[in-house]
Structure 1
Amino acid sequence: MLETHKLSGGWGPTLVNEDVSLRVASGETVAIIGRNGVGKSTLLELIVGRAQRRSGGIALDGNDITAQAVHQRSKSGLGYVPQGREVFPSLTVAEHLQVAARPGHWTQARVLELFPRLGERLGSHGNQLSGGEQQMLSIARALLGNPRALLMDEPFEGLAPIIVEHLVNSIRKIVQSGSIALLLVEQRVDIALDLSDRCIVMDRGRCVHEGVSATLARDETQLAALMGLGH
């Protein structure tokens, strides 16, 4: 469903990612893990079109989207839950959901069933929500675009354990509900491996390991060695 081929790029003159090739199938969750600053978030920004590509390509459902602008990639079926949530402070929850909606499986009723708390906060503005509520809204907004592939950048960052547990369960339901391909960047390695089918370890802007998440989770020695690359 989502594929990159030798994708390289970064910010301005700074090259962050080099020759990254990956695939995520429909209904599959792939986690990207690695130490801070190795290019995980920049890779997602390259795929959605917000960082500057130097070379390589991106395909979604077999269609080349490399030259598409950010909004065109969204219309093509690429959803994004950015780090920091990027909720509009002056829009209500209801307005966020209305402007994001496109026809498909995910309707407002379905996302409110997934996140009942948002149904209680429809009239509240973005800056009146807690961090957990903002993250729910960011995910709900992305789902209402009815993406074929969904990218999530550290969705559990800074949240209380009870909210993290709720979001983990919600993400499982999202993947189980249809044919969304999920690419997840997460600093909490235990959660990332538990949620995903496969994992990619990054170091210095490159993919240095790819394998079955459950297998890596059981091999603490290999996991520690991979997460310590570059020391």
Structure 2
Amino acid sequence: MLHQTPATAAATATLLVVDDDRDIRQLLAESLGARGYRVETAASARDMDQILARTAVDLIILDVMMPGEDGLSACRRIARDDGPEIVFLSALGEEHDRILGLEVGAGHYLTKPCSPREILATVRAALRRRGGAATTEADQYVFDGWRIDLASHELFDPEGVLVGLTDGEFAVLRVFIERPRRVLSREALLSAARGPDSDAYDRAIDVQVSRLRRKLRAGGDEIIRTVRNEGYLFVPRVARS
């Protein structure tokens, strides 16, 4: 089982997990998201194509055996020099399976079950090979005197004091930072913060937002506004530090 821990290094790449197993998608999204990566998930190659059409992705973690188009076929189709890195994560672990996966365009091939440390190490190695955004250290934003570092999971109040956030609180705050001054429904917040396959209830978002409000009240200003029957609005303007 993947273990969720706070981010310890800069990691701003966008990852896409493609697997028809819902539990694997959710566990990978939570584990890698806790390390600071932005994680999208897809249950099929068709869903993957839809995400790739609207989102710039740095790396794809791809299953081989899926309903519809399998991972090998999808990899052949999307693998290119300027495209995302591809890491196979498959239950097929024979030598000929691994060789075939590498021959169709993947940079790495991992066999299930695989430890979270090995997955993380492979993701980092693949992104270093790509030379993408995963190693940048500039991922800090400011709002109303507050400063947040999305890579290190640190939030500082206007006095420069570090404010402790749980992983869940930080995930929700990240969504607000990336989508400021827009009304976000509970469903949108839940999907962006926890992944589209989360089985959490809307009430979980209400609790996280309530806790965030209490921690963001240092200056007394309203930072998260409730919009009746619609959701929540992050009021301040957000700027890259």
Per the TM superposition, whether the score is higher than 0.5 is: no
**Structure with the greater alpha carbon radius of gyration:** 2
> Of the two structures, which has the highest relative contact order with CA contacts closer than 8 Å and spacing of 6 or more?
1
The TM-score, its normalising length taken from structure 1, stands at 0.32
The TM-score, its normalising length taken from structure 2, stands at 0.31
Please state which structure has a larger fraction of its residues in strand: 1
